[in-house]
Structure 1
Amino acid sequence: MSRIARYLTHPQVQVDPLVPVPEWSLNAVGHARVAALAATPAALGRTNRIISSAEVKALQTAHPLADALGLAVETRPAMHENDRSATGFLPPDEFERVADQFFAHPTQSVRGWETAQAAQARILAEVDACLAGHAQGDVLFVGHGGVGTLLYCALAGQPIDRRFDQGPGGGGCWFEFDIATRKPASGWQPIETLLPSLTHS
């Protein structure tokens, strides 16, 4: 039986320009989406490990799911989102323009941000390190849209390109890949696509 790893991004957050982005929390919609998945833990199949970024919004996504499955959360600080501390909070329109440049010029630092190439190497190394000793069951990684997209591009053998991003909607999306082959089964899908699979199983 093949073993599956899923990469899940945190859903909607409470945007606060006065709080460092890594410390942002989920908002009411984000919490509700996580709660819906936690209420149907069998939707996560044979998951026996949950590994999360150390950012608050990722941990707030991971912990309810881990509690529902009776698991502990393994925290990996190096799974953080691409480092944007050089600019801090940016208004949405400006953020989108800079994010476009981040993906379009992966070897260049845009306004002091970590390069896409460096962020991709970092998240790929973290995933590989976590899976190196994993012998059985499925794995759930909980993280972020930017580095998640970079991970997807690497695993799918695609160049870094924002067209592979999870898209608008505030996050809360996932993709899965075979642990043995490291090949993604599909692109991003919203959390909610996991839920009907339980009712029809």
Structure 2
Amino acid sequence: MPIAYYITHPQVQIDTTIPVPDWGLSDVGRARAHAMLDQPWIASIGRVVSSGERKAIETAEVLGRHLNLAVQVRQRMHENDRSATGFLPPPEFEAVADQFFANPHESVRGWERAIDAQQRIVSEVEAVLDVNDAGNIAFVGHGGVGTLLLLSLSDRQISREADQPAGGGNYFAYDLGARRLIHGWRPIDRLS
């Protein structure tokens, strides 16, 4: 049974002077990405596919170097488009994210609609899987669209109840043949 792992980038270096998609991993995020390599499921991965955002690419490169695999970058795997607001302080971001998930057919403060972000990430993942011949695969991306993908795979309505734990650096797994969730979010750096 081939398995897909959807991995979210861990902590980032916040810099309000540059666009959010250009943020890289923080020291904590890099350490967590390297700690992920100790997970027993890592050795089974035969292909690594990443969002085009810097933080996701940096996470995917840690994995790719460890496995001696090239990282394939898919620009449309990006996080939900929040460029209309740019950086928001954490309490404000959380409030807008709540609205994003609660109102999936509306653009909240100019953000990409949740329903559109979900269709985009599902479509991108399916396009990659249509040509997957490497067995187990790792997708490296973001919490918002990752949650939307997890909800789609679980045949559940869009809501924030399935959102990854705070801070990023989590993963879920699903059976590629059945397109069935094996398990929900788990930390990338904790053996389970």
Query: Structure 1 or 2: larger helix share?
Result: 1
Aligned AA (1:111) = R
Provide the rounded CA distance (Å) in 2 between the counterparts of 1:143 and 1:151: 11
Q: How many residue pairs end up in the alignment?
A: 192
Residue in structure 1 matched with residue 172 of structure 2 by the alignment: 175
In the alignment, what sits opposite 2:183? 186
* Residue aligned with 2:47, SS: strand
User: What is the identity, as a one-letter code, of the residue corresponding to 1:184?
Assistant: L
Q: Which consecutive residues of structure 1, in runs of 5 or more, have no partner in the other structure?
A: none
1:23-34 to 2 correspondence within 5 Å?
23-34=22-33
Tell me which amino acid in the other structure corresponds to 1:133: V
Task: Kindly indicate which of the two structures has a greater share of residues assigned to strand.
Answer: 2
1:48 deviates by 0.7
**Structure 1 counterpart of 2:11:** 12
Q: Is the 8 Å Cα contact of residues 8 and 141 (structure 1) preserved in structure 2? A: yes
The runs of 4+ residues in structure 1 deviating greater than 6 Å are none
From 57, 60, 74, the equivalent of 1:59 is 57
Q: Which AA in structure 2 matches 1:11?
A: P
Change (3 A) 1:42 1:71: farther
Q: CA RMSD in A?
A: 1.2
CA distance in structure 1 between the aligned counterparts of 2:131 and 2:24, rounded to whole angstroms: 32
- Gap regions ≥5 residues in structure 2: none
1:72 to 70, 93, 96: 70
For residue 19 of structure 2, what is the amino acid of its counterpart? Answer: P
- CA drift of 1:133 comes to 1.7
Equivalent residues in 2 for 1:42-191, closer than 5 Å = 43-168=41-166, 170-191=167-188
Deviation of 1:136 (Å): 4.0
% same residue: 53
